[in-house]
Structure 1
């Protein structure tokens, strides 16, 4: 296992992140955190741990600086978040250890919209996308229709407003797709066993599409 603290220049800011790679990774997943969250999010770190156990590398990073995150509107600036995510994907593509690997995106909350906007860019080869409790609707109809990477949307069964928003976004996706509703889970998947189910579903999705053409 290789573990390294990395710094990625996005032009306007330098993002700090943690890159962890198993010895023979099948791919690497770039995490896009949601509003008010960070690369230290215990939920995303739990998912990342399960992915690494499944042989998948992970890069968790802060898309916003602490100063930027204190300005609430930045958390919902999907174009800004997408640009930061693009800079991280470009960085991964320039590293010897990660350039040959299929790229996956894992988005939570508003990070899901940024992940889908990036996946809609034909210049960025994304192999698979997973969203947890996300707001894929904020990516916009044009981006959703342009996504070609297989996309899994995971929503809590007790997160009713977000279920409806995910159903709307799901209907616009024209790629290989799945909407998974975790029974009894609220928005943060804090109920026993629910986050474990998110991690299982994500690992299965990425493993499938890192090794097979959609």
Structure 2
């Protein structure tokens, strides 16, 4: 049975954004999460995925992308350049932390957070080794899509048809290695039995492949 990870409450970036860092023994990499609109670092789906990643030997960082006053302005929730900058600040914060700086980094973005993760990957190609999008809106990353170098996995529910079309269109614009996984019977939030487990399986495989050799 794997050991439980060490949990640390941290302040991320210049804005001191609250975050939770989980460090399992013998980390094979660090995955930074970017939550979607209307969510936070406490997102139950992201925390579930994070725990599963911890069990497979990956450290995880879940943090709020906005301060409390910023989050009260709904425009900020959809400000992808701002959110992408916050993820990039988290990358720089990790690079300055002595016990984290040597770990290869992946990004896991959900919904609009996927666009923020891709913007950050374009801003910091030397730091990001892999990206996973869950039910994401990569199209919202705009011109940054063509600048993403990190191998990117797009996971979409088979019943989330509009978002699936947007992901296919975004994938065609990307120059990096990409893969699209469609989870049968899943809607946008992957609430159906077994669908979130399919997300976990795909994400673990992607990070194991692209972070282990980084």
* Unmatched segments (≥5 aa) in structure 1: none
Q: Distance in 1 between matches of 2:59 and 2:11?
A: 17
TM-score normalised to structure 1 length: 0.95
> CA separation in 2, counterparts of 1:46 and 1:114?
20
Q: Give the 3 Å change call, closer, same or farther, for CA 122–63 of structure 1 in structure 2.
A: closer
Deviation beyond 4 Å, 4+ runs, structure 1: none
Please state whether the residue corresponding to 2:123 is helix, strand or coil: coil
The equivalent residue for 1:3 is 7
Contact 2:160 2:188 in 1 (8 A): yes
Q: Name 1:21's counterpart in structure 2.
A: 23
Secondary structure at the counterpart of residue 115 of structure 1: helix
Q: Structure 2-normalised TM-score?
A: 0.95
C-alpha displacement of 1:86: 1.1
Matches within 5 A, 1:35-184: 35-122=37-124, 124-140=126-142, 142-184=143-185
**5+ unaligned residues in a row in structure 2: which ranges?**
none
C-alpha deviation, 1:9, in angstroms: 3.3
Take 1:178 and 1:79, find their aligned partners in 2: how far apart are those partners?
24
**Does the Cα contact within 8 Å between 1:50 and 1:200 map onto a contact in 2?**
no
- 1:67, CA displacement in angstroms? 2.4
**Partner of 1:131: helix, strand, or coil?**
strand
Q: Decide whether the 8 Å contact of 1:118 with 1:124 is kept in 2.
A: no
Alpha-carbon distance in 2 for matches of 1:168, 1:73: 25
Alpha-carbon offset, residue 69 of structure 1: 1.7
Aligned residues: 210
Q: Quick check: 2:32–2:105 contact (8 Å CA) kept in 1? A: yes
Mean Cα displacement is larger for which, 60-69 or 102-111? Answer: 60-69
3-state SS of paired residue (2:38): coil
SS in 2 for 1:120: helix
Give the CA deviation at 1:182: 0.4
